[in-house]
Structure 1
Amino acid sequence: MNSPDDLSTPPAAAAKAARPTGRRLALAAVALAAAGAGALFSARRLALDEPDTTGLWDRSFPAPDGSALALATLRGRPLLVNFWATWCPPCVEELPLLSSFYNENKANGWQLIGLAVDKPEPVARFLAKSPVSFPVALAGLEGVELTRALGNAAGGLPFSVLFDATGQLRDRKLGQLHARDLAAWRDRLGRS
């Protein structure tokens, strides 16, 4: 008759069983590689490339009311440009914050424009239901290329760009703005 001690696994066999097999090592390596690739993709998706502002101040965009918004007229004071779309939930969510920021800081020389990467009809309908206090212009699909020129490699929205009073690009953010972002930018550029 066997005793319980005779049925137990010897220490050497237990150690061998605890070691990963070739298959487990291969699966772990694949999982690690996939995680690394995912992290790299995410970092690249949110990465900002070197901006090119060549010709930026020569651009003009139609406004929903039919007038034109020439960027050249906005030089000389701090300017926040926000690229957004009606079909972009984080874009729509940040618009009231941007309106408040504009209302609080326009007397101090700040300017803010929203460039809608959208068609005229949805923008007009959206603004009729949810007006904003700052000027909005229509960038359409050209707006995606403009965001890429400004360093937004992914062309994602929302995308915001901060210019100082001299027209120099000072900061950018891909993704939804928060009050702390706007406060930091205001503090960085101060009052005009």
Structure 2
Amino acid sequence: MLNRRALAALVLALGATVLSGCAREQAPAVDYVLLNGQKASSQDWHGKVMLVNFWATSCATCVKEMPQVIATFDKFKGRGFDTLAVAMSYDPPAFVAKYAETRQLPFGVAIDNTGSVANAFGQVQMTPTTFLINKRGEIVKRFVGEPDFAALHGLIEQLLAEA
């Protein structure tokens, strides 16, 4: 039988092996159209820390968190950080456009008419669902529901500091 010290060493060694060998999932390659009609692609995200937020105007939590999503964008935008708000396929485009205009959303807003962007990100159905992607295009964190924004900001700071 292992003594406590040997067991602790084994647990630490296994934990270090698991953490160091943990490969992150690559963000999917997606094409989308912004509200202003501009075509864009996830290839445009290379070298940036990206927050990709799936939301709907009919989602109370999405509407509640949007001011914090805006504040997060405003805090980090000049440092290689960007945000994309992806409206779900069931959200009427006129509602999305009106919301983006009246709330003066300062980042890109895409309407996922076909659901292809949500599907590419693992069949996103619950809103809000938010992905944080590092400069190498890897998904670092997936939030279902409203994120802890203080913790999110700390993670963004870490990712921006990475080479």
Higher relative contact order (CA 8 A, sep 6+): 2
For residues 80-107 of structure 1, give each alpha carbon's deviation from its aligned partner in whole angstroms, at most 9, with x where no partner exists: 1111111101111111111111111011
- Which AA in structure 1 matches 2:157? D
Per-residue CA shift, 1:65-92, capped at 9, x if unaligned? 2222211111111111111111101111
The question of whether the paired residues in 2 share the 8 Å contact of 1:119 and 1:140 is answered with no
TM-score normalized by structure 2? 0.74
Deviation at 1:141? 5.0
In the alignment, what sits opposite 2:40?
Answer: 69
Quick check: which has more Rg, 1 or 2?
A: 1
Residue from 164, 172, 180 that aligns with 2:150: 180
What does 1:14-163 align with in structure 2 at a 5 Å threshold? Answer: 53=26, 56-57=28-29, 59-117=30-88, 118-140=91-113, 142=115, 143-149=117-123, 152=124, 155-163=125-133
* Deviant stretches of 4+, over 3 Å: 51-54
TM-score (norm 1): 0.63
> CA RMSD of the aligned region, Å?
2.1
1:52/1:166 CA distance change after superposition, 3 Å: closer
Can you list the C-alpha shifts for 1:118-147, whole angstroms capped at 9, x where unaligned? 232110111122121111111135144234
What is the count of residue pairs matched by the alignment? Answer: 136
Structure 1: gaps (5+ residues):
1-50
Aligned sequence identity (%): 23
Unaligned runs of 5+ in 2: 1-23
Give the 3-state SS of the residue equivalent to 1:170 in structure 2. strand
CA distance in 2 between counterparts of 1:53 and 1:119 reads 30
| Match 2:139 to one of 169, 172, 179 | 169
- 2:25/2:138 contact within 8 Å kept: no
